[in-house]
Amino acid sequence: MSTDPKHIYVTQPYLPPLDEFIPYLEKIWESKQLTNNGPFHQQLEQALCEYLGVDHIALFTNGTIALITALQSLRITGEVITTPYSFVATSHSLLWNGIKPVFVDIDPDTLNLDPAKIEAAITPHTTAIMPVHCYGRPCDVEAIQTIADNYNLKVIYDGAHAFGVRDAGGSIFRHGDLSVLSFHATKVFNTFEGGAIVCPDAKTKTRIDHLKNFGFVDELAVVAPGINGKMSEINAAFGLLQLKHIDMALGRRKEIDAAYRQRLEGVAGIRCMQAHRENVPNFAYFPILVDSDYPISRDGLHQKLKDKGIHLRRYFYPLISDFSMYRGLPSAHQDNLPVAVAAAQKILCLPIYPALDDAQIETIAQLIAVQ
């Protein structure tokens, strides 16, 4: 990710002043504890529980390892129903556990997994549902949970985009059996690299903590084939510093979202997704759909802005189901996924991050509006 001022990217991490980070590094240096559940690791877990309004969080080195471990912790096997409209880490985590992904189509308004399509995909081998809160917009959690309860299925939410999102009842992460977060540098809240699992109870967190440390219970006992998924003290310290600035960052994202909507309103062929309806959104992304009545194609607009130094992203194109390693699955056939296919061919995510200034927003909007 470049910081070249001549270029504008979809996202850039918020970096607090360096002098604020130095004291954290000095404390790590003095303690000589760089990892393995150090003091900053413990502080960040507690701080995140308080900020997000959840009871238990297990920190990880990244969101992908967290997804893999979440599935392992619930002993998921067989088939898992999931979305083709996501980053490949979602389905890769299934393959890492020897699980068969079963893709179903998405809702045309939210671009999340469509609950109405789930039941038809359930087989005797189905053990879980793995939806994604795409762009930080909550899934239809009530409908998904009803289906899961009816068929005795587990629900693991990929909440990589959904940091801080709340609905009327509180954190969106209270839904399902587990929720997995990503703290990658491109996310709303980041720890350089990192991730977490939101756990429903202390017993589940203890099992997950064992699994992320090779399965060790103590120095003499290993109880499961765990992995090295521990977050370092440096990453945890950066997370604590980021957390001090998160409300400012979210506030600026909200302003940018409103500015784009105002400037793009009425542009023929450009469709902004519906304004956020959840009680507390996080404005993680600003996706637009380039419809057929726009003068040039989606890819043409993508290239036009790229030529001006504005690097948009086609999140998510291609679909996971279109990659060669997944294409052979019966559920990956495009006829099975018409809404996802159409969305992938129209989607563009515009730059949205706290350092994006009003002049840059105006430039981007003008380039889209003027042909």
Q: pLDDT digits over 262-284, tens only? A: 999 999 999 999 988 888 999 99
Provide the 3-class DSSP secondary structure of residue 286: strand
Provide the 3-class DSSP secondary structure of residue 129: strand
Instruction: Indicate whether 10 belongs to any domain.
Output: no
Instruction: Indicate whether 7 belongs to any domain.
Output: no
- How far apart CA 259 and CA 284 sit, in angstroms, is 15
Q: Residue 199: is its pLDDT beyond 90?
A: yes
**Residue percentage of the chain with pLDDT more than 70:** 98
How many separate domains does the chain show? 2
Q: Residue 3: is its pLDDT beyond 70?
A: no
Shared domain for 270 and 149, answered yes or no, is no
CB neighbours of 127 closer than 8 A, spacing ≥ 6?
A: 76, 77, 78, 79, 80, 153, 154
DSSP strand pairing (270-272 vs 286-290): antiparallel
- How far apart CA 129 and CA 135 sit, in angstroms, is 19
Shared domain for 128 and 195, answered yes or no, is yes
Task: State residue 101's pLDDT score.
Answer: 98
Instruction: Indicate whether 303 belongs to any domain.
Output: yes
CATH number at residue 358: 3.90.1150.10
Q: Decide: 12 and 314 in contact? Cβ < 8 Å.
A: no
Task: State residue 367's pLDDT score.
Answer: 97
For residues 153-167, average pLDDT? 98
Instruction: Indicate whether 1 belongs to any domain.
Output: no
Q: pLDDT digits over 65-122, tens only? A: 999 999 999 999 999 999 999 999 999 999 999 999 999 999 999 999 999 999 999 9
Across the strands, what pairs with 155? 129
Average pLDDT of the chain, as a whole number: 96
Instruction: Indicate whether 9 belongs to any domain.
Output: no
Shared domain for 331 and 211, answered yes or no, is no
What is the dihedral sign for C-alpha 38, 42, 47, 52?
positive
Task: State residue 13's pLDDT score.
Answer: 85
For residues 209-234, average pLDDT? 96
For residues 210-225, average pLDDT? 96
- How far apart CA 187 and CA 333 sit, in angstroms, is 31
Instruction: Indicate whether 4 belongs to any domain.
Output: no
Q: pLDDT digits over 16-44, tens only? A: 899 999 999 999 999 999 999 999 999 99
**Segment holding 39, helix H or strand E:** helix 39-52
Q: pLDDT digits over 129-147, tens only? A: 999 999 999 999 999 999 9
Provide the 3-class DSSP secondary structure of residue 361: helix
Shared domain for 131 and 233, answered yes or no, is yes
Shared domain for 304 and 160, answered yes or no, is no
Q: Residue 331: is its pLDDT beyond 80?
A: yes
**Segment holding 330, helix H or strand E:** none
Shared domain for 79 and 160, answered yes or no, is yes
Across the strands, what pairs with 221? 218
What is the dihedral sign for C-alpha 49, 165, 136, 95?
positive
Structural domain span for residue 258: 247-369
For residues 345-366, average pLDDT? 97
Q: Residue 348: is its pLDDT beyond 70?
A: yes
Task: Show which of 208, 241, 274 is a domain's final residue.
Answer: 241
Cis before residue 316, ω within 30 degrees of 0?
yes
Shared domain for 202 and 285, answered yes or no, is no
- In this prediction the pTM is 0.96
What is the dihedral sign for C-alpha 145, 97, 136, 16?
positive
When pLDDT is cut at 50, 70 and 90, the band that residue 4 belongs to is low
Shared domain for 53 and 74, answered yes or no, is yes
* Tokens representing residue 268 in the block: 């023929």
